[in-house]
Structure 1
Amino acid sequence: MGLLDGLLGNASETDAQDMQLELQQLLSPGEQVRNAYAVLRDLMVFTTKRLILVDKQGVTGKKREYLSLPYRSIERFSMETTGHFDLDAELKIWVRGQTEPISKTFRGDKNVYDVYRALGEFAI
């Protein structure tokens, strides 16, 4: 899985060590990146303390929004897989204090299972 999967909307696993270096300004002392997934230009980064959602904005993707979700604030999450005619998989994360879930769409369900498994490992 590489650039083509990313362009098609498939989640692709990203090297945790590369993400550790890229996010070192944001990480607290002792915090380690465990898993990271790229969906189009956005990232979902699982650390030892929180989930960081990176929204790359603009034409170049240089402008970024970082949303930090401590695992204790994640109340529940769900996954909707693809069907015969619906080729999009969807992941929803409900956060304490918000009525609407955070929703991420994947083209196909190749790696949505991996992201869901990572949520189960870290958020429970």
Structure 2
Amino acid sequence: MGFLDGLMGNASEINAEDMQEELAPILGDAERVQRVFKVIRDLFVFTDKRLMFIDKQGITGKKVDYLSVPYRAITVFSVETAGHFDLDAELKIWISGRHEPLIKELKSGTDVVGVQKMLANYVAR
């Protein structure tokens, strides 16, 4: 994945072991990072306990929003794949206690099948 792909918003997969070290201060005891997808500066982190959305904000990216969703709180998820004219896909996750779904755009080049497989494996537990 090149720099231009990153600017265009295409997601790339990050090494889970590298993120394990970086996220160690905020991970639970014995929690393991399974897969990580990066879209520009934002991350989708699948651990064995939860799904984390890490949103770096501002010009410097020093302000970071961490949204942590335990898999047991995910009631439904859907992925709308891209068509011919719309290259992006959309991930919707319904979380117990919320009326509206959490919506994330998956840019062209994102492993949409991989994201769905990770959710299917962990939400069904």
The two structures have a TM-score, normalised by structure 2, of 0.92
CA distance in 1, matches of 2:70, 2:6: 26
Shift of residue 109, structure 1, vs aligned partner: 5.2
1:47 maps to 47
Who is 1:67 aligned against? 67
CA distance in 2, matches of 1:49, 1:107: 25
> Following superposition, which runs of at least 4 residues in structure 1 exceed 6 angstroms of deviation?
none
Q: Give 1:2 deviation, angstroms.
A: 4.2
Distance 1:57 1:29, change over 3 A: same
Structure 2, unpaired ranges of 5+? none
CA RMSD of aligned residues (A): 1.3
| Mapped partners of 2:44, 2:2: distance in 1 | 16
Pairs aligned (count): 124
What are the ranges of 5 or more consecutive residues in structure 1 without an aligned counterpart?
A: none
**Greater Cα shift, 4-13 or 84-93:** 4-13
Is this contact kept in 1: 2:9–2:107, CA < 8 A? yes
TM-aligned CA distance change 1:110 to 1:36, over 3 Å: closer
Q: What's the TM-score, normalizing by structure 1? A: 0.92
